[in-house]
Copies of this chain bind each other. A is one copy, B any other.
Amino acid sequence: MSVFLDHARALRARIDQALEQAVPDTPGSQLAEAMRYALAGGGKRIRPLLLFAGFRAVRKTADHPALDTAAAALEAMHAYSLVHDDLPAMDDDELRRGKPTCHIAFDEALAILTGDALQTLAFELLCETPGLDDTIRLALVRTLARASGLKGMVVGQAIDLAAVDTQPNTAELEHMHRCKTGALIDASVRMGALIGGASESELAALAQYSRALGLAFQVQDDILDVTADTGTLGKRQGADEARNKPTYVSLLGLEEARRRAQALYLEALEALDALTGDAGELRLIAQYVVEREH
């Protein structure tokens, strides 16, 4: 695990640099400042890690210049969703990654615009991914767009908001999470594989992996919401519970939720058996996801 953590740290530095280039310091532009704030370090960068791992699972070569740009695009999309989710009309959170949320550090109007511009930035970046032909670039745009909109992330958030004070069953909860966080996790792996020139059967195996991993990630998030303390978590502990949001823990109980995370972890690993490339990083990420403490 520690070799992987070193590798992850190195990748994070690379991703931070790509983000730094994506939104350069622009004196006098409050919008650029707020975008940089929302993108700044502290995140787990799990989506970029999945992107790189997805690439390596289908290609022998170690690297590709498009990975940095695509990683920045994924982080921009993820950061936009966090900025908007934290708004007073949504989850009303004041703390994110141990720092004041965007609308607290700036103001609400600028936070809305910051999220808007970060989403646009994600697509703009993908148009300029170096070293790819336009068909692959367009496939990256399509993958990210499908994962983010009316059939992905945003509808997941809408279902989540509507679910407060309701008692969905496990299938309904899964559907919500599959949209809200699963779709973007799936897109991350797929985009890496597309950059690597994956075949249809490789993409199918990776989709199976991502589906299990995305749910495992969410189950673990729900577990941490009740077991970790605010300092470790970087956000308010028990926040979901306090809002009376349905979680895997409230639905299954803590022990059963832990068993579910473990089962999903094994399901993710199993999907990788169909691949002939080096899926080592994807395995380590799955392990990290269910073992992490924040």
Q: Tell me which residues from 93 to 149 in chain A have a Cβ below 8 Å from any Cβ of chain B.
A: 107-110, 112-113, 115-117, 119-121, 123-124, 127-128, 134-135, 137-138, 141-142, 145-146, 148-149
Query: Are the CB atoms of B31 and A113 closer together than 8 Å?
Result: no
Question: Chain A: interface residue count, which band?
Answer: 35 or more
Q: A127-B142, A150-B31 are in contact. Are A115 and B116 (CB under 8 A)?
A: yes
- Stretch binding the partner chain, chosen from A83-91, A194-202, A286-294: A83-91
Which of B108, B120, B146 has a CB less than 8 Å from the CB of A119? Answer: B120
Which of B32, B116, B155 has a CB less than 8 Å from the CB of A84? Answer: B116
**CA of A117 to CA of B156 in the docked complex: distance in angstroms?**
11
Contacts of A284 in B (CB 8 A): none
**CA of A123 to CA of B147 in the docked complex: distance in angstroms?**
12
**CA of A141 to CA of B87 in the docked complex: distance in angstroms?**
28
A158 at the interface (CB under 8 A from B): yes
A276 at the interface (CB under 8 A from B): no
Query: Are the CB atoms of B117 and A141 closer together than 8 Å?
Result: no
**CA of A155 to CA of B116 in the docked complex: distance in angstroms?**
10
Query: Are the CB atoms of A141 and B127 closer together than 8 Å?
Result: yes
A121 CB to nearest chain B CB (Å): 6
A29 at the interface (CB under 8 A from B): yes
**CA of A31 to CA of B158 in the docked complex: distance in angstroms?**
7
**CA of A23 to CA of B121 in the docked complex: distance in angstroms?**
24
Contacts of A110 in B (CB 8 A): 158, 161
Contacts of A162 in B (CB 8 A): 30
Query: Are the CB atoms of A32 and B150 closer together than 8 Å?
Result: yes
A35 at the interface (CB under 8 A from B): yes
Q: A120-B154, A124-B146, A150-B120 are in contact. Are A112 and B90 (CB under 8 A)?
A: yes
A157 at the interface (CB under 8 A from B): yes
Between A and B, 11 residue pairs with Cβ closer than 8 Å are A31-B154, A87-B109, A112-B112, A113-B157, A113-B158, A117-B150, A117-B154, A117-B155, A119-B119, A123-B145, A128-B142
**Which of A32, A120, A121 has its CB near the most chain B CB atoms (within 10 A)?**
A120
Query: Are the CB atoms of B31 and A116 closer together than 8 Å?
Result: no
**CA of A30 to CA of B157 in the docked complex: distance in angstroms?**
12
Q: Which residue of B lies closest to A22 (CB)?
A: B150
Contacts of A141 in B (CB 8 A): 123, 127, 138, 141
Contacts of A90 in B (CB 8 A): 109, 112
**CA of A107 to CA of B136 in the docked complex: distance in angstroms?**
39
**CA of A117 to CA of B137 in the docked complex: distance in angstroms?**
21
Query: Are the CB atoms of B127 and A138 closer together than 8 Å?
Result: yes
**CA of A107 to CA of B158 in the docked complex: distance in angstroms?**
11
**CA of A128 to CA of B149 in the docked complex: distance in angstroms?**
15
A141 CB to nearest chain B CB (Å): 5
Q: Which residue of B lies closest to A76 (CB)?
A: B149
Which of B115, B116, B138 has a CB less than 8 Å from the CB of A134? Answer: B138
